[in-house]
């Protein structure tokens, strides 16, 4: 994901009953492969279908409003992520093997049911994760299918795998939520375990392509809050003409229990959320560059 500000759940908020929104990627609602012992031939067919974009590994989905893009959105959380962010709210999405196999065609049929809701609210679909670009062929199939239905499309990405996003795929993306986790390469590596430059490069490519960007930054006291670090991101954002908003997201401890239940050491157990004054200071740093900030 990404920022993982939204927390994947196994229940779709506001998405039941009369809207006919069924349980998201229920353990028993996969594509018929769950629980089966796969032979080598089955396994290779499965991977071939994943490479072809027909089958994906999905953690969950939910219907949300006013997050992950404009309007009411179906946010789909794909499994697998190359980053290991210290503050990840969804560590259960990091491993692709933990997702459920889902047919792109099935998912597109579900998306189709919400066309009117998307149209009336100015919403659409958001592909999140995990990292959406870990499964570029599957994402491309969903994005193409959504655009053919006239549905607004967003991806929520760290940009680390931006090279996996083809120009054809970019043409099917209306908005990118670009999660820039740090402006300082050392801090970025400390936060994510990976290099910063691929993200910066992807942002520049999006701007050249004309793709709208909402740049997102998680403010973590003692980790990403250094004014010089924030300034670097603000300067970068100001160079991208298609950045239409910046979202400063205060760190919180909502993911802590998941780390503990997965048995993974969680390093930010003692970190407090930033104060309102700290959040205001950071937002003002972005505003000083002429950016629209939330
Ligand atoms: S580890 Fe991956 S899924 Fe978690 S916050 Fe980082 S980019 Fe998002």
Nearest Cα neighbor of 74 from 109, 27, 50 is 109
Atom of ligand 1 nearest to the CA of 91: 4
Q: Which domain holds residue 132?
A: 17-28+58-287
Atom 6, ligand 1: residue with shortest CA distance: 85
Mean pLDDT of the chain: 89
Backbone angles phi, psi at 277, to 5 degrees: -65, -40
With respect to residue 273, please indicate whether it lies within any of the assigned structural domains.
Answer: yes
DSSP 1: -
pLDDT in tens, 261-294: 999 999 999 999 999 999 999 999 999 999 999 9
Q: Which residues contact 28 (CB under 8 A, 6 or more apart)?
A: 34
User: Residue 286 has what pLDDT?
Assistant: 98
> Could you tell which of 60, 78, 158, 267 is best to mutate to test the pocket of ligand 1, judged by most ligand atoms within 8 Å of the CB?
158
In a domain, 139, yes or no: yes
Residue 283 lies in a domain: yes
Q: Which residues pair with 107 in a beta bridge?
A: none
The verdict on residue 47 lying in a domain is no
Q: Cβ(90) to ligand 1 under 6 A?
A: yes
Q: Is 83 in the pocket of ligand 1 (CB under 6 A)?
A: yes
Let me know if residue 77 belongs to a domain.
yes
Residue found under tokens 């994760």: 129
Residues in the chain: 294
Within-domain flag for 45:
no
CATH number at residue 228: 3.20.20.70
* Residue keyed to tokens 């998912």: 107
Is residue 10 pLDDT above 80, yes or no?
A: no
Ligand 1 pocket test, pick from 130, 195, 202, 264 with the greatest ligand atom count within 8 Å of Cβ, gives 130
Residue 8 lies in a domain: no
pLDDT band at 40 (very low <50, low <70, confident <90, very high): confident
Place of tokens 């927390």: 7
175 domain residue, yes or no: yes
Cα dihedral 66, 71, 73, 77, rounded to 10, equals -40
Largest CA distance in the chain: 59
Looking at residue 32, what is its pLDDT? Answer: 37
Q: Into how many domains does the chain fold?
A: 1
What are the pLDDT digits (tens) for 201-257?
Answer: 999 999 999 999 999 999 999 999 999 999 999 999 999 999 999 999 999 998 899
């Amino acid at each position: 994901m990404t920022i993982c500000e939204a927390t994947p759940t196994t229940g779709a908020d506001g998405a039941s009953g009369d809207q006919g929104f069924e349980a998201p990627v229920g353990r028993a609602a996969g594509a018929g492969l769950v629980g089966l012992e796969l032979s080598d031939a089955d396994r290779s067919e499965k991977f071939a279908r994943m490479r072809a974009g027909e089958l994906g590994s999905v953690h969950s989905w939910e219907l949300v409003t006013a997050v992950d893009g404009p309007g009411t959105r179906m946010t789909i959380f794909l499994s697998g992520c190359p980053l290991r962010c210290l503050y990840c709210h969804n560590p259960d999405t990091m491993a692709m093997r933990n997702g459920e196999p889902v047919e792109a065609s099935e998912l597109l049929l579900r998306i189709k049911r919400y066309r009117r809701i998307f149209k009336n609210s100015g919403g659409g679909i958001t592909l999140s994760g995990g990292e959406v670009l870990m499964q570029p062929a599957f994402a491309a199939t969903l994005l193409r299918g959504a655009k053919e239905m006239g549905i607004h499309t967003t991806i929520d990405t760290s940009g680390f795998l931006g090279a996996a996003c083809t120009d054809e795929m970019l043409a099917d993306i209306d908005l990118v939520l670009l999660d820039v986790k740090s402006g300082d390469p050392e801090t970025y590596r400390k936060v994510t375990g990976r290099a910063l430059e691929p993200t910066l490069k992807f942002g520049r490519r999006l701007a050249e392509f004309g793709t709208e960007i909402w740049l997102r930054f998680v403010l973590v006291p003692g980790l990403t809050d250094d004014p010089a670090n924030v300034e670097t991101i603000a300067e970068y954002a100001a160079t991208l003409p298609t950045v239409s908003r910046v979202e400063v997201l205060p760190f919180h401890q909502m993911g802590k229990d998941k780390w503990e239940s997965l048995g993974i050491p969680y390093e930010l157990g003692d970190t407090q959320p930033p104060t309102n004054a700290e959040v205001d200071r950071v937002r003002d740093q972005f505003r000083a560059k002429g950016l629209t900030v939330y």
